[in-house]
Structure 1
Amino acid sequence: MSEDIKVILVDIGNSSIKTTEVVGGRFQETLIWKDLQQALDRYGESPLMVSSVRKLDERLSGKTNIEVLSHLTRLPISLNYKTPETLGADRIAAAVGVFDLFPDMDNLIIDLGTCMTIDLVEKTGVFRGGVISPGLVMRMKAMAHFTDQLPDISGEWQEFNSSELGQSTRECLFSGSFWGIVHEINGVIQTLEKDFTSLNMIMTGGDAHYFESKVKAHIFAGSKIVQKGLYRIWKYQQ
C-alpha cells in the first residue's frame, strides 16, 4: 500500500456529517456537511471509509470506491455482542480507535452525543458491549415532550449553574439532565472497576467537554476517535 494514498473518512452521525481526509497516514482538517451529496461531489472517486448511524443511503451502495462499515466488515477486534447486526457503526469504529491507541489497556469509551454510549473494550481486543441512554439535550426535550407543563430548556440550559439541587423548575430540569448523566457515568465506572482495576477512560463526543471535570476518574478526552478507528479498519482491509 502506497504511503501517499489518500482516503476519506466519513462519519455520518444523527446531527451532522463529518469528513476527514487522510494523506500518507496524516490526518487533515475535518469538514462538516449538511448534505451527503456535497461531500460525495467534493471527493469524487477517492476511497471512502464510511461509518453511519443512519439508515444506509442508496448513494453509498454499489460503489467500488466506498466501503460502509458494518459488523460484517473484517475487524482487528472481535465483537462479543448478542446482536452485532444492530451494533452502531460509530461504536464499532470508536472501539477499534481506542484499541489501536491503547492496545495494552482495558478501555471504557464514554461517548456523549445525541445519545450517550458507554462501551468496554478489553485489552485482549474483545468488545464487551455497554450502555445506551439519552444524551443531554434528548433528556431535556423528552421531559417537555412527554408532559403537559414542563418546559423545554434545551435551548437555554447553558444559562443555569451546575448545582445538583435546582431552585426553580427549569433549574431542576437542568440538574436532573446534567447530573443524571454524571452519576450514571460514575456508577458504571464504579461497577466495572470491581473487575477491571486499571480501566482507561476515554471521553468523546460533542458534549464531552461539559463533563470532563465532573467524572470521578482519570479521563482521556479523545478527539477523532471514530475517524482513527475508521482509518485503522480501512488499513486492515488492504
Structure 2
Amino acid sequence: MSEKLEVILVDVGNSSIKTTEVVNGEFINTKIWEDISQVENYYEGTALMISSVRNLPSSLLDNKNAKVLSHLTPMPITIDYTTPETLGPDRIAAAVGAIELFPNKDNLIIDVGTCMTIDFIDKSTVFRGGIISPGLKMRMKSMAHYTDKLPDISDEIQDMNSPALGKSTKECLFSGSFWGMIHEINGVIKTIEQDFTSLNTILTGGDAHFFESNLKAHIFAGSKIVQKGLYRIWKHQ
C-alpha cells in the first residue's frame, strides 16, 4: 500500500501548537510549533483539521484546505450546552476522542493544562457539560500576583515534592495548588459516580504527569484523545 497523507491535525492550545500527520490512518510525525503561520507555510496546500483556543489569522480562516472546528461543525456527538458557541473546540475534540477510544461508556475527561477542564460525555454520545478551573501553574502565579510577599514558584514545580503539609512557604504554595487540584478532581469523580457507577475516567493534558499517581482509577490518554477526536470529526465531514 502506498503511503497517503490524509490530513494534518492541528491542536492550538494556550501554551503550544501541536501538529500530527495522518498517513493511511496512522498518526505520525508529531511536531511542536511556536507560531501558527509556521504551520500554514510548512503544510501549504495540505488538508488541515484545526482545533484552536486562540484567535486565528484571517489567512488561515480563508484557507480552503483548512477546516476549523467549532460548535457548528458536523460531528458524531450531541452537545447539551447552554452556550455552545463558547464551548472550547479542544473540549469538543476531546469528547469525540473519548467516544472513539472508549465507545459505549460514560466518559469523564480530565484535561490538566493552562486551565483544568473536566467534561462528561455519556454512553449515548451526549456532551453533558463540565467545569473549568485554574491549572497548576495558574494557581501558583495568581497567589504571587495578588499578594506582595508570596513568591511565584510556577517555574520550580519540577523540583518540588508534594507533601500534604508544607514545611516552607514554597512547599505550602505547592501543596495548596497541587493537593487542591487532586481533591477537586476526586470530588468531581465522586459526584458523577453517584449517577454513573461505571464511569470511565480519562486523564490528559500537558501537566497530567504530575497527577497520575494521586488520582482515583483512571486511564492516562496523553494527547492522543484530542488527535483521535479531530480525526474522527474530519472523517465525519
TM-score, scaled relative to structure 1? 0.96
Indicate how the Cα distance of structure 1 residues 3 and 31 shifts in structure 2: closer, same or farther if over 3 A, else same: closer
Structure 1 residue 165 corresponds to structure 2 residue 165? yes
**2 CA distance for matches of 1:85 and 1:63?**
22
The answer for the alignment partner of 1:219 in structure 2 is 218
The answer for the alignment partner of 1:105 in structure 2 is 105
**What letter is aligned with 2:151?**
P
The answer for the alignment partner of 1:190 in structure 2 is 190
**What letter is aligned with 1:10?**
V
The answer for the alignment partner of 1:19 in structure 2 is 19
RMSD over aligned Cα atoms: 1.3
Deviations 1:155-199 (A, max 9, x none): 113322211101111111000000000000000001111000010
**What letter is aligned with 2:187?**
G
Structure 1 residue 118 corresponds to structure 2 residue 118? yes
Q: Once the 2 structures are TM-superposed, how far is the Cα of residue 3 of structure 1 from its aligned partner?
A: 8.9
In structure 2, the gaps of 5 or more residues are none
CA contact (8 A) 1:141 1:153 kept: yes
- Counting aligned pairs with the same residue, the percent is 66
Q: Once the 2 structures are TM-superposed, how far is the Cα of residue 5 of structure 1 from its aligned partner?
A: 4.7
**2 CA distance for matches of 1:72 and 1:163?**
45
In structure 1, the gaps of 5 or more residues are none
CA contact (8 A) 2:40 2:60 kept: no
**1 CA distance for matches of 2:127 and 2:149?**
42
**What letter is aligned with 1:220?**
I
**1 CA distance for matches of 2:5 and 2:212?**
36
CA contact (8 A) 1:3 1:25 kept: no
The answer for the alignment partner of 1:228 in structure 2 is 228
- Secondary structure at the aligned position of 2:74 is classed as coil
**2 CA distance for matches of 1:57 and 1:107?**
34
**2 CA distance for matches of 1:82 and 1:70?**
15
**2 CA distance for matches of 1:157 and 1:13?**
21
- Once the two structures are overlaid, the 10-residue window that deviates more, 33-42 or 197-206, is 33-42
**2 CA distance for matches of 1:158 and 1:43?**
34
CA contact (8 A) 1:4 1:23 kept: yes
The answer for the alignment partner of 1:47 in structure 2 is 47
User: Which aligned runs of 4 or more in structure 1 are off by greater than 6 angstroms?
Assistant: none
CA contact (8 A) 2:50 2:66 kept: yes
Q: Once the 2 structures are TM-superposed, how far is the Cα of residue 4 of structure 1 from its aligned partner?
A: 3.3
TM-score, scaled relative to structure 2? 0.96
Structure 1 residue 69 corresponds to structure 2 residue 39? no
Structure 1 residue 30 corresponds to structure 2 residue 30? yes
Q: Once the 2 structures are TM-superposed, how far is the Cα of residue 149 of structure 1 from its aligned partner?
A: 1.0
